[in-house]
Amino acid sequence: MAAHAESLWIKNPIAILAEGAGNGIVVSGGRIAELVPSGKVPTTPYNATSDASRHVVLPGLVNTHHHMFQTLTRAHPDAINRPLWPWIKALYPIWARGVTPERFRVAARLGMTELMLSGCTCASDHHYLFTQGLERSMDVEAEEASALGLRMTLTRGALDLASGDGEQAVAPRSVIQDTDAVLDDCTRILSRYHDRSDGAMLQVALAPNALFDVSFELLTETARMSRETGCALHTHLVETKAEADFVRAEHGCDAVDFLEKCGWLNERTWLAHAIHFDDSEIARLGKHGVGICHCPTSNMVLASGTCRTKELEAAGCKIGLGVDGSASNDNSNLMESLRHALMLGRLRYGAEAITHLDVLRWATEGSAACLGRSDIGKIAVGKQADLAFFSLDELRFSGAGDPLAALILCGAHHADRVMVQGRWTVTDGAPVGMDMAQLRYQHGEAARALLQDL
């Protein structure tokens, strides 16, 4: 990967999502050193320039929920046109038998590459599939993220209850891990990868999959680890009404009460989907600063419902965005999810209630806050130089009056350039040092082989 210049002036952007930076920014040592006002030149010394006159510049987007192994089963004929439970029951046996270590590696590489090409500079992948041979999946993701230059939260998922162990549990026994084995691996990856320093490229979050397919012991023990190490906690919660009803029937309380019993009701926790909370639950989530990952695309594909983003944010929750699994999206394009978040939000709240600036905030500052990071997600002095550059050269943008709004309303989906920690990771629309044709071939072959194994 190309090294960053010692000090670089990124000059003359069409527009930039930052106050007082009309003539660009200076990047030095992997950080933002100066915002340059319109008509001004930098006061910070620089030894190189980059012309951004074709670009709208955003903070790097942050993806807070994904399942990258699912890129192997997109638009699968057994799962399309189904809601969540029939969808996942159709796919679990395929994943359990067919996702080998080699196939997982290429699936993760493809998912990360897609995200970066959509302007993403930091990602979290909620990986919970640890069948035989996949025990070192977190190490694979760390290696692939490092090779691509992507900032990553390694989100160690887990399943320790199988179908038959509870009313809602659906996972086949071949994907279940022993609780102690899960906790041992959580300890291992925390020790190896969890970097709490400013500008860290790798951090760790602990992520039992969902309340219906993990044990109370696993939830409470991961909460203890979070308190001791400062790592974040993540899980799916109330994606469907059936899940909310299950928690009440099984545990005699609502989902937020159960989070509190497990030690999860705090600012280190962020939840995927969060659709079927009532007003009381929303108030309590906000009071404790819980993060919410809104996954608009998969929620529409599976018809699960609509996250109450406005109420949650007003209550005090951090709102971020996620693409969710590539078998329920069915891609890894975070910019597309911004547009979906805008449209779905307007359908619920009205045309004036959700703006392009709202969804841009959710995908940058909000998502970063969900991951517990204050060093990324915003173009400001001292922040990490994680940036996404979009051109407006395509026909879809012709006639657009507001460049920032045009990215969302006209449907931008591919970044022309991406920078992470001051280093170019995408130039001229392609990842630095990667043969995308070869990646497409390898991934296609892996997906075909998976289907042939069935």
What is the set of domains in the chain, with CATH numbers? 7-59+384-431 (2.30.40.10), 61-370 (3.20.20.140)
- Tens-digit pLDDT string for the chain (454 aa): 444 557 999 999 999 999 999 999 999 999 999 999 999 999 999 999 999 999 999 999 999 999 999 999 999 999 999 999 999 999 999 999 999 999 999 999 999 999 999 999 999 999 999 999 999 999 999 999 999 999 999 999 999 987 556 555 678 888 999 999 999 999 999 999 999 999 999 999 999 999 989 999 999 999 999 999 999 999 999 999 999 999 999 999 999 999 999 999 999 999 999 999 999 999 999 999 999 999 999 999 999 999 999 999 999 999 999 999 989 999 999 999 999 999 999 999 999 999 999 999 999 999 999 999 999 999 999 999 999 999 999 999 999 999 999 999 999 999 999 999 999 999 999 999 999 999 999 999 999 999 887 6
Helices (H), 176-229: 179-193, 216-229
Instruction: Give the pLDDT score at 373.
Output: 98
Reply yes or no: is the peptide bond before residue 330 cis, omega within 30 of 0.
yes
19 burial level (CB within 10 Å; 0-12, 13-18, 19+): exposed
Instruction: Give the pLDDT score at 174.
Output: 87
Tokens of 317: 């929750």
Cβ contact 124:63 at 8 Å? yes
Backbone angles phi, psi at 230, to 5 degrees: 80, 10
Residues, the chain: 454
Instruction: Give the pLDDT score at 142.
Output: 98
What's the predicted TM-score (pTM) here?
A: 0.97
Instruction: Give the pLDDT score at 24.
Output: 98
Instruction: Give the pLDDT score at 300.
Output: 97
Instruction: Give the pLDDT score at 387.
Output: 98
Instruction: Give the pLDDT score at 163.
Output: 59
- What is the b/e burial string over 106-130, where b = at least 16 CB atoms within 10 angstroms of the residue's CB? bbbbbbbbbbbbbbbbbbbbbbbbb
| Residues whose CB is less than 8 angstroms from the CB of residue 210 and which lie 6 or more positions away in sequence, other chains included | 235, 236, 237, 239, 243
